[in-house]
Structure 1
């Protein structure tokens, strides 16, 4: 931070040292803007014709010392007196969104005189990063996180249905899922552009454990097919619920088995995920009615057999009784294994509780999948 302020002071000195005296004012004393640029001295030759919200800029000109207000469109900037000289003003472009856009930079001086300069402010289009839970029933509220969700905003689901906006902030949307929403990407639009998610809503790609139907070697008894009053609501057919104490370094298989026991679902991990795991995420939906605060979960997925090693996903994690989507970079998972190769006949899978500490477990799982981090255009 000290380096930034030092650079600003140097900039003002370098530009302001040649300021003229009142006895010899340039341009007959009339204010004038010559150009706008960034404040970093290393970019002194890079002039700006527009800039984004929140950017610190240098307005360079003549007779600017009596500036009292600066406006970008209809938004007033915050001025600091030491950053104003006759030849340069340092100011940050407001982050607030304008209601009226005229693409003008306006300086108001002590005399009431106003100076205008053509200078559009670039306003960011929406940015979509994640959905708290990628599986939400029609009529329920989905929570979407990102940035630049400037009203008015619309959220369209694959299939064309548009959701009802329940609540909006710059960085979060709460939207009621419409009837007719289909698995796939969502599209968020504002007056300043649109963004398409890299995640899928109700993601049904590359699922390697679903319990619809149950396959594998272990714990058919964990599968919930008809949720009761005490069970979490189903989000995508059957799911797995583990409700029992797990002892210190106990061994409790959650699900899995070799390819021939898992069946065709064992082939659902893409070849590219094995060859370039850095391009993929491991995802699943989790509901913790009691916190995951002890012990551990070990994953052995996308491997040829059970002798390849285990990735440990350690506590804490607590969804407070609601479904959430867990995202783990797949390269972190595969870093725990020996180097893997593509297995055309399917992959061995094992997910097991095993770790330090006793866990009073009440955790539900669904939709284990390996999916791309970024959807190629």
Structure 2
């Protein structure tokens, strides 16, 4: 009797669990299930139904395509050449399968899609994975000195026995030290001139939009030291220190710092502010020579498609951990030498500026005693007020006669620090 009692209890429990499973199945009538049988692909098209007549025989890596056919829910795994694709069952029906072409370059090229069922049947379909030509996005330091190890960043840097990866700067062929799909390293040779970079692979040749040793759109480079540059330097309230020493990248440079920066980026303009405000003290005010408007030196007519760039060095001994570098273009209506003021950017009008704070993602930032290139696209970067909110007014072509750089505030708290920030080669260039 006792055993029957326990048996009845056990059977009741099993029936209860079975009821739960049946209920669960009934609650998910549309639950995805892999089908049996063999998939058939009739054609491949773009996912957009409005362009569904655009049939494809190949597609670039990372692009999205749609397989059209029958019994496509029987596909358990999908490969393009030897690269496995990620399947999302939300985009698979019996007749369509939307998928991204894998982003990695195939090691073995067969120009086929392989569809594998749950029982390991394999069906192939002719389809080419197209590899783009090389993409050159940036250079760690565009003014890397001869003998230094320089780094180019981008994608699709491919070496092929039939067509080796090559690099040129101007007319000079460069020996590549090492490379990956996204990086090329090389030792800078002597006597290079300002030129675009050119990378060639089996898939094509690409020239960089930026130049090595870019002198286009130069605003500040010799910092008034008569080294053959623009000659512009401090031209405002603060005589920022201009140095030429073992850190020098290309002659003299300007330095911010030499004092404590509070965690909230407290106002410390005596050490952290640089101004170039145009104009002299004559009546009427003149704007020539070293009093020139920046917009008379460099055209900002197409500023929406330009970037402000400069080289920067932060010694590892003095990392940057608080305060935003507020980079502020100004027009004559905001400030000149004769109307010197800081109210145009230090109030609630929401005057636009860039807020550069590379320390905020890790809590601390330095460049390991090296120089790096900083790029601030004008349209995207110069869109904030002093607290990091969206600026209330936009920049116009009239707002490029002067420049202020001030490490201060920014709306993000950090850690008290004693940063030293060295800056050279401030320039405005096409994107």
Name 1:319's counterpart in structure 2. Answer: 366
Measured after TM superposition, the shift of residue 115 of structure 1 is 6.2
Q: 1:123 to 1:12 in 2, by over 3 A?
A: farther
The residue number in structure 2 matching 1:274 is 300
TM-score for both structures, normalised by structure 1: 0.70
Check 1:38–1:349 CA distance in 2 against 1; reply closer, same or farther (3 A cut).
closer
Q: Trace 1:1-377 onto structure 2 (pairs within 5 A).
A: 33-38=41-46, 44-55=52-63, 57-60=65-68, 72-73=80-81, 75=82, 77=84, 93-99=101-107, 101-105=109-113, 117-152=125-160, 153-168=165-180, 170-214=181-225, 215-217=233-235, 222-225=241-244, 227-228=245-246, 232=247, 234-245=248-259, 248-252=266-270, 253-260=273-280, 263=289, 266=292, 269=295, 274-289=300-315, 290-301=318-329, 303-304=331-332, 305-306=335-336, 309-310=344-345, 311=353, 313=355, 315-317=357-359, 318-320=365-367, 321-331=369-379, 332-333=381-382, 339-341=396-398, 347-355=401-409, 360-373=418-431
Deviation at 1:245, TM superposition (A): 0.7
Would you say the 8 A contact 1:245–1:360 is kept in 2? Answer: yes
TM-score (norm 2): 0.63
Distance 1:90 1:256 in 2: 55
| Deviation at residue 126 of structure 1 after TM alignment | 1.8
Q: Is the 8 A contact 1:266 1:348 kept in 2?
A: no
What SS is found at the alignment partner of 1:208?
strand
Select the structure of larger CA radius of gyration.
Answer: 2
Unmatched tracts of structure 1, length 5 or more: 1-8, 23-28
Distance 1:102 1:157, change over 3 A: same
Alignment partners' CA distance in 1, 2:204 and 2:278: 47
Structure 2 unaligned segments of length 5 or more: list them. Answer: 1-29, 226-232, 281-286, 346-352, 360-364, 384-390
The 1-side partners of 2:45 and 2:358 are apart by 47
Once residues 91 and 298 of structure 1 are traced to their aligned partners in structure 2, the CA distance between those partners, rounded to angstroms, is 43
- Deviations 1:92-121, CA, capped at 9 Å, x for gaps: 544432355453446689999986644222
Number of paired residues?
342
The structure richer in strand per residue is: 1
Using the alignment, how far apart are the partners of 1:90 and 1:298 within structure 2?
Answer: 45
Structure 1 residues 174-214: Cα deviation after superposition (integer angstroms, max 9, x where no partner): 33323343212111222112222122221112221223534
Is the CA contact (8 Å cut-off) linking 1:269 and 1:369 kept in structure 2? no
- Distance verdict in 2 for CA 1:355–1:172, change over 3 Å: same
Show CA shifts across 1:151-170 (max 9, x none): 353222123332423232x3
Give the 3-state SS of the residue equivalent to 1:199 in structure 2. strand
Deviations 1:50-96 (A, max 9, x none): 122245555455798988886644x2545979899997777654443
How well do the aligned residues superpose, as a CA RMSD in angstroms?
4.5
Shift of residue 249, structure 1, vs aligned partner: 1.6
